[in-house]
Structure 1
């Protein structure tokens, strides 16, 4: 599938890019850190799968990413601000509600959106997150250092080096990403998970050491359930066929 046409709107002073594909019941997709809507959802087969299942797929470039506005101030990248962008995009499109799926950073924003605007979302899929989200000590330092390093060959942390490589491959503004990463690695509002009133599917790969197991996170959500994608790590889970099958079954319940 080729890239979708990109349009723009303003959300709280930030220019947000988005694309829409298909007709039917709306599903809003929030991509992961250092990615874009085009990278996270098109080559991985998600747009095709959802459109063929009868959904209208709505995909923003999250603030600081892709064609959206880029600030170098970490105050502009709170998860609440990102959640607000998701709600504002529904308002812009005249959609009273939608299903919502986020991956990694996008899943964090999706969970916060479910806390702050439950009336706008039907079912929530939080992919690429798990037990590690419950840890208040999530050090952003290695990734920030990797993103801001003049010479990528000097990066010693292998996990951080992958983020740098991914950012460069996607032509991202690394200073904006560094500010974003510092903000999203702040302690997650775990207490709010117990207030989520919508059904939530938490998905993580069996070998995803970044996310951890999905069960402990799902257990904090009143109508949460967990799904583990066999043998997949953080990067390979997102396009996995088993992941798609689990999500489509969940959305159709």
Structure 2
């Protein structure tokens, strides 16, 4: 298992290249309670990228998978997470890459792109939509997530989405105390003005039944070169492995999604 250190924190990652010369490099950033193997390898993205002759780099975000666990919320602030992505690019001596973040990983990917736009060729934000632009408020499901992670009995969690994330964390053997600290990190609101200046093509993609994401088009409009895709029939968890999601991502990378806000798979 290869690792590197970012600000003194050990981060685990995978780095797979196709036989021969890779045509592009894709960096993958998983979602909350997931990890690189569950979020990307098991769902078929490693194999799909290899077939596309792409170099595939995926990390376990700090607090997840085989990366180091920390228990103070400030260790998981968004700029710190984004710094881990840039540090990985530096560690592997990568220039410009395509960056794909899913769910919570989409927030990290967006922050990395805003911090270092010259390092990003294309940005893909999955499992998110216009609700990403809503301000975080006390009592929201996001804030309740920490309590769900720390609950002694997951069956006492009344909110279905929170209960699903808790069961998923337990199935993956994740460190729930680290996850509670992760979700409690305080971050400033997204810089919508900076998003409106981001000189990078952006694909926003989410399942039709992903109520937590909202309309992908609404978020895509925040970017100068944004495109929104809704994957019909999918929810938050079923969209990521779906063949239609892969088709949309690869069409986007190939420059075949020319009409912003007009596509539905």
Smaller-chain TM-score range? over 0.9
Q: Deviations over 1:21-58 (max 9, x none)?
A: 12312110000110000001112111111110010000
Quote the offset at 1:114 in angstroms: 1.1
Of 151-160 and 11-20, the range deviating more from structure 2: 151-160
CA contact (8 A) 1:41 1:47 kept: yes
Matching of residue 18 in structure 1 with residue 13 in structure 2: yes
Q: Using a 3 Å threshold, how does the CA distance of structure 1 residues 121 and 240 change in structure 2: closer, same or farther?
A: same
**TM-score of the pair, normalised by structure 1:** 0.94
Q: How far does the alpha carbon of each residue in 1:58-103 deviate from its partner, in whole angstroms, 9 at most, with x for none?
A: 0000111000011111111112111111111111011112111010
Q: How does 1:202-221 map to 2 (within 5 A)?
A: 202-221=204-223
Change (3 A) 1:189 1:195: same
Matched residues in 2 for 1:148 and 1:189: separation?
31
Q: Which runs of 5+ in 1 are unaligned?
A: 1-5
Aligned twin of 2:53: 54
Equivalent of 2:194, from 192, 195, 202? 192
Tell me the distance in 2 between the aligned counterparts of 1:159 and 1:184: 21
1:99-178 equivalent positions in 2, closer than 5 A: 99-138=98-137, 139=140, 140-178=142-180
- The aligned residue for residue 3 of structure 1 is none
1:208-227 C-alpha deviation (Å, 9 max, x unpaired): 00111101100011111101
Do the aligned residues in 2 keep the contact of 1:105 with 1:184 (CA within 8 Å)? Answer: no
Question: Aligned partners of 2:188 and 2:154: how far apart in 1?
Answer: 25
Post-superposition Cα deviations, 1:130-180, rounded to whole Å, max 9, x if no partner, equal: 011111035233211110111222211211111110111111111111111
The structure-2 alpha-carbon separation of the partners of 1:186 and 1:33, relative to structure 1 and needing over 3 Å to count, comes to farther
Contact 1:115–1:195 (8 Å) recurs in 2: no
Give the conservation status (yes or no) of the 8 Å contact 2:143–2:183.
Answer: no
- Secondary structure of the residue aligned to 1:249 is helix
C-alpha separation between the residues in 1 aligned to 2:188 and 2:173?
A: 25
Q: Deviations over 1:197-250 (max 9, x none)?
A: 100000011110011110110001111110110010000000111110110111
Unaligned runs of 5+ in 2: 256-265
Greater shift, 190-199 or 160-169, is seen at 190-199
Residues 133 and 185 of structure 1: CA distance in aligned 2, closer, same or farther (over 3 Å) = farther
- For 2:223 and 2:92, locate their aligned partners in 1 and report how far apart those are by CA, in whole Å: 29
For 2:90 and 2:9, the matched residues in 1 are separated by 15
* Alignment RMSD (CA, Å): 1.3
| Deviates further, 173-182 or 29-38 | 173-182
How many residue pairs match? The answer is 248
User: 1:189 offset after TM fit, Å?
Assistant: 3.4
How far apart in 2 are the matches of 1:28 and 1:54?
A: 14
